[in-house]
Amino acid sequence: MRVDVVTIFPDYLAALDLSLVGKARRAGLLDLRVHDLRDWTSDRHRTVDDTPFGGGAGMVMRPDVWGRALDDVMGATGDGGDDGPPAHLVVPTPSGEVFTQRHAEALATEEHLVVACGRYEGIDARVVEHYRATGHRVSELSIGDYVLNGGEVAALVMIEAVGRLLPGVVGNPESLVEESHGAAGLLEYPVYTKPPAWAGLEVPEVLLSGHHARVERWRRDQALARTAARRPDMVEALDPGTLDRHDLEVLAGRGWVVEDGRLRRSGDEPGEPHEPDGGTAAAVAE
Ligand code: SAM
């Protein structure tokens, strides 16, 4: 996969030389290129921003500078620049769709991503409009309901989440299967390592039993219980048809019942929102 990042702070992306993503770059699994937006300015001060039309606080990033940069890195006609398939433009913004593992999985199938990191009050809205109108796929994505100073941290988040899904990046692909937010739609069970006793706390006996089926069942129960305690929205999204009788009993023990083919908190009126109960790890692991 090729990823181009355009930013006014290229050094911010240096963290992508580290750890598994850095290794993937060195192994040629990820061709990551970081560009300084100011290289596409045409004035002595290398200006990338100007005052907002309509007035108000802050500065807005100029569309002409972004247009020259993006035409160069992604190809003006949606042909992917150099020679590859059309690039997918990712624009981090707090007003975008919230980035999830599903987005990471979809983006991991692309051959060429271009990430446009905004600063100040953001990028002139015509940039996204123009690239959509010229046949590019454009995703405006937020990494959460808060506001950062720039898109670089969001780019790091997305590139790491996508990069670890590329074949060969994570040493043991099995470790991706049961993770939180995977295909099962659950949070991961709690994990333990040596020593078996620490700070007066014992590793659950079942994990030392060597009994594979019991370990699997315990982990599944913990994943269900943890998800029920911390993320009722994820329990609601489960398809009861994918759960076995034991799964349903675990959820029933936490107040979840199947009604009209979907999971609901017993006592909730259909369609009524409910308060998350903020369960803790201690409350989950019985
Ligand atoms: N004025 C914008 C608003 O209220 O929506 C916020 C601009 S923010 C200060 C500057 C840049 O930071 C954005 O253009 C975007 O690139 C990035 N950014 C800030 N928060 C973000 C978030 N939650 N997710 C993704 N990118 C974010």
Ligand 1 centre distance from Cα of residue 148 (Å): 5
| 240 alpha-carbon distance from chain centroid | 26
Question: What is the CA(180)–ligand 1 centre distance, in A?
Answer: 26
Q: How far away, in angstroms, is 155 Cα from ligand 1 center? A: 11
Q: Let me know if 221 is exposed, middle or buried by CB neighbors in 10 A (0-12, 13-18, 19+).
A: buried
The residue whose CA is least distant from atom 12 of ligand 1 is 150
93 alpha carbon – ligand 1 mean position (Å): 4
The residue nearest atom 19 of ligand 1, judged by CA position, is 148
Residue 197 is which amino acid?
A
CB 256 within 8 A of CB 264: yes
79 token code pair? 């042909």
Q: What CA–CA distance (Å, rounded) separates 235 from 284?
A: 15
Pocket-testing residue among 147, 149, 159, ligand 1, by greatest number of atoms within 8 A of Cβ: 147
Of 7, 93, 139, 153, the residue with max ligand 1 atoms within 8 A of its CB, to mutate for a pocket test, comes to: 93
Residues touching ligand 1 (Cβ under 6 Å) are: 92-95, 117-119, 121-122, 142-144, 146-151, 154
Residue-level pLDDT at 174: 82
Amino acid at 191: V
Q: Give Cβ neighbours of residue 247 (< 8 Å, ≥ 6 apart).
A: 220, 224
Residues 158 and 104: beta-carbon distance below 8 Å: yes
Q: For ligand 1, atom 2, which residue shows the shortest CA distance?
A: 121
* 234 CA to centre of ligand 1 in angstroms: 26
The whole-number pLDDT of residue 83 equals 58
Query: How many Å lie between the centroid of ligand 1 and the Cα of residue 157?
Result: 14
CA distance linking residue 109 with residue 66, whole number of Å: 26
pLDDT (tens, 9 = 90+) of the chain, 286 residues, equals 999 999 999 999 999 999 999 999 999 999 999 999 999 999 999 999 999 999 999 999 999 999 999 999 997 444 444 556 789 999 999 999 999 999 999 999 999 999 999 999 999 999 999 999 999 999 999 999 999 999 999 999 999 999 999 999 998 888 788 899 999 999 999 999 999 999 999 999 999 999 999 999 999 999 999 999 999 999 999 999 999 999 999 999 999 999 999 999 998 765 544 444 444 333 443 3
CA separation for the pair 4, 33 (Å, rounded): 5
Residue 175 confidence (pLDDT): 78
Task: Specify whether the CB–CB gap between 214 and 206 falls below 8 A.
Answer: yes
Would you call 109 exposed, middle or buried from its count of C-beta atoms within 10 A (0-12, 13-18, 19+)?
exposed
Is the full-model pTM beyond 0.85? yes
